[in-house]
Structure 1
Amino acid sequence: MNATISPRTRRAPGLRRVHRLDGVPEAASVARDIVTLDLGRRHPYLYNARLVASELVTNAVTHTSSGLPGGFLTLYIEATAQTARIEVADAGPLPGARTRPRLTRPGADSEHGRGLALVAAYADDWGTHTHPDGNRTVWALWRAAA
């Protein structure tokens, strides 16, 4: 796994971190650990951010070129004491694929298709951005009520 995690990571107002992760299934677990270390255990959006980061990383590994041998993704974390933003940038669509991230309605027995529904349910806001090179970023945001 291509990620460095240090328990001594300091959290500060205006936190901005960038982590490059290998495009392997274990990256979802690593992303949860990174979010915990970067936000800190007392951050008000920690558990939602951990869940969403895990879902976004899993989607990138499963549905994009990030999951191909040698693939990678980038996890961005921004936070203040009362806000958090998670972004996952992938390596673009699988060869021949023309899909983009979207909410679906899976069947009752389906084992897949609920990831973005969870993101929508657990984030205050979320969205996607397709870059000119075909790579995509999916983001989620939490902010304190005004």
Structure 2
Amino acid sequence: MSDDARGPIQATRTFPGTAESCGQARSWIRSLILPYPEIRDSAELVISELFTNAIRHTASGDPGGTVRVTVRTEGDPPSLLRLEVTDEGRRNHVPRQVSRAMLPPEDAQSGRGLFITSVVSYAWGCFPADGDGPRPAEPVREHRDGAMTTWVEFALRQEMEMAGSP
């Protein structure tokens, strides 16, 4: 497929904050980015990690919680693919934490998601969901304290290097 045949993508979907929905989010992303096979596996891996973080560490995983996922390309022709995962904020009993991409100890059973994200993506970061970041494309229920959007970008052109590249 030529780069000219790759059209723009702009889509947002809200999923129930359940483990089963993680697979649905992964399949949805895969269906949207079929024209971009060079980043498809990495994007699926990252959406799984970020969705899992949202339901494990925020109120999105509470009964009735949701996770909003946005995927869009940027540029004409597209040069970046951006994924965003917006959670519903921290649980009341969980202290506020800073997201860091650190490799955990070898014997750790979890905690590699953001590290993996930083290695396979062009760039990543997060911002308060009600702050200076992009506005949602669809209505969502009111966010709890500390709702965050975590974003990840993938280069769609070979001349753009990945963040983990030498």
TM-score bucket (shorter structure): 0.7 to 0.9
In the aligned structure 2, how far is the partner of 1:40 from the partner of 1:140?
18
RMSD: 1.9
My pick for the range that moved more, 124-133 or 134-143, is: 124-133
Corresponding residue to 1:142 among 154, 158, 161: 154
Q: Provide the residue aligned with 2:12 in structure 1.
A: 18
The answer to whether 1:72 aligns with 2:84 is no
Report the identity percentage.
29
Q: Which 5+ residue runs of structure 1 have no aligned equivalent?
A: 1-10
Question: Given that residues 122 and 152 in structure 2 are in contact (C-alpha distance below 8 angstroms), is that contact kept between their aligned partners in structure 1?
Answer: yes
My pick for the range that moved more, 32-41 or 18-27, is: 32-41
Question: Given that residues 125 and 140 in structure 1 are in contact (C-alpha distance below 8 angstroms), is that contact kept between their aligned partners in structure 2?
Answer: yes
* Consecutive aligned runs of 4 or more in structure 1 exceeding 4 Å deviation: none
Question: Given that residues 69 and 86 in structure 2 are in contact (C-alpha distance below 8 angstroms), is that contact kept between their aligned partners in structure 1?
Answer: yes
Q: Which 5+ residue runs of structure 2 have no aligned equivalent?
A: 131-144, 161-166
Question: Given that residues 101 and 115 in structure 2 are in contact (C-alpha distance below 8 angstroms), is that contact kept between their aligned partners in structure 1?
Answer: yes
TM-score calculated relative to the size of structure 2: 0.75
How far residue 12 of structure 1 moved from its aligned partner, in angstroms, is 6.3
Alignment length, in residue pairs? 136
How far residue 44 of structure 1 moved from its aligned partner, in angstroms, is 2.4
TM-score calculated relative to the size of structure 1: 0.84
Q: Greater Rg, structure 1 or structure 2?
A: 2
How far residue 124 of structure 1 moved from its aligned partner, in angstroms, is 0.6
Change (3 A) 1:59 1:135: same
